[in-house]
Structure 1
Amino acid sequence: MQISKIRTAIAAAARTVDLPAGTAALTTTGHVPDAITAPHFFCAEYSVEFDKAMRGGLDEAELTCRVLVGRPDDRAGQEILDALLDGSGPSSLKQAIEAARGAPGEYALGGLADDLRVTRIQGYRWYEHQGTQYVGAELMIRIIGKGAP
C-alpha cells in the first residue's frame, strides 16, 4: 500500500461533505498541517500490520484522522462537529469516506486499496493545534490492501 497516496485520497473523499448552510466549507489535508482553517479534517497517525496473508499478499492499516471545528461558542461548534460525525447524511464524514470504496467488485480509493471502513469515532474533546483551541474528534479508518511481494 502507498500510504501517502491513500491519505491524500481519503482527504479528497472527506472534502465532499456538504455542511449546513452558513458553515464554512470543510478544508482537508492528507497530512498533519502546520496551520488549519476550521472546520478542518486531516489524516494523522497510522499503524500497519504487514503480511496478513501469505507472502505479503495483504497488509492492514489503521489510520487516525482528526476533524477540528472552531468555537464561535461552545454549542455551535459542537453542533457542526456532531453533523460531521453522524453515521449518514450530507455532512457525514463516514458516508463521504466510505463512498470512496467504489462499487461492489471495485478497488477502493481508485485502486489504491482493496477496501476501507470507518470503524469508530473517539476522543471527542478540546484539541490545541498551534496554540488555538478547537473542539474535535478522531475517526479511525481500517484499510486493507496489497502488501509488498
Structure 2
Amino acid sequence: MQFAAVRAAIADAARAVTLPAGAAKLTSTGYTPDSVSAPHFFVGEYTVDYDKTFGRGRDEAEFTARVLVGRQDDRAAQLILDAMLSGAGPASLKQAIEAARGAPGQAALGGLADDLRVERVQGYRWYEHAGTQYVGAEIIIRVIGDGRT
C-alpha cells in the first residue's frame, strides 16, 4: 500500500459529507496540518501489520483520523460533531468514507486498497491544535491492501 495516497483518498472521501444547516463546509487533509479551518478532518498517525499473507500479499493498516469542530458555541459544536460521528445520514463520516469501498468485487479507494472499514470512534473530548481549542474525536479506520506495492 502507498500510505500517503491512501491517506489522501480517505480525506477525499470524507469531504462528501453534508453538514447541518449553518455549519461551515468540512475541510479535509490526508496529513496532520499545522493549522486547521474548522470543521476539519485529517488522517493522522497509523500503524501497519505487514505480511498478513505469504509473499507480501497483504498488509493491514489502522489509521487514526481526527475531526475537529470550532468551539464558538460548545453545544452547537458538539451537535455538529455528533452528526459527523453518526453511523448514517448526510453528515456521517462513516458513511462517506465507507462509500469509497466501491461496489462488491471492486478495489477500495479508487484501487489503492482491497477494502476498508470505519471501526470505531474514540477520544471524544476537547483538543488543542496549533494553540486553539476544538471539540473533536478520533475515528479509527482499518485498511487492507497489497503489501507488494
TM normalised by structure 2 equals 0.99
Alpha-carbon distance, 1:72 to partner: 1.4
SS in 2 for 1:76: helix
Partner Cα distance (2:22, 2:74) in 1:
17
Q: How big is each residue's C-alpha offset from its partner over 1:81-100, in whole Å with a ceiling of 9 and x where there is no partner?
A: 00000000000000000000
Partner Cα distance (1:18, 1:139) in 2:
18
What's the Cα RMSD here? 0.7
- Tell me the residue number matched to 1:148: 148
1:3 aligns with 2:18: no
- Tell me the residue number matched to 1:44: 44
Instruction: State how many pairs are aligned.
Output: 149
Partner Cα distance (2:130, 2:11) in 1:
20
- Tell me the residue number matched to 1:113: 113
Name structure 2 gaps, 5 residues minimum. none
- Tell me the residue number matched to 2:18: 18
Alpha-carbon distance, 1:56 to partner: 0.6
- Tell me the residue number matched to 1:70: 70
Alpha-carbon distance, 1:73 to partner: 1.6
Partner Cα distance (2:145, 2:69) in 1:
31
Q: How big is each residue's C-alpha offset from its partner over 1:9-60, in whole Å with a ceiling of 9 and x where there is no partner?
A: 0000000000011110000000000010000000000000000001110000
Partner Cα distance (1:71, 1:133) in 2:
7
Query: Percent sequence identity over matched residues?
Result: 69
1:93 aligns with 2:93: yes
Name structure 1 gaps, 5 residues minimum. none
Alpha-carbon distance, 1:148 to partner: 2.1
Partner Cα distance (1:71, 1:127) in 2:
10
Partner Cα distance (1:49, 1:58) in 2:
9
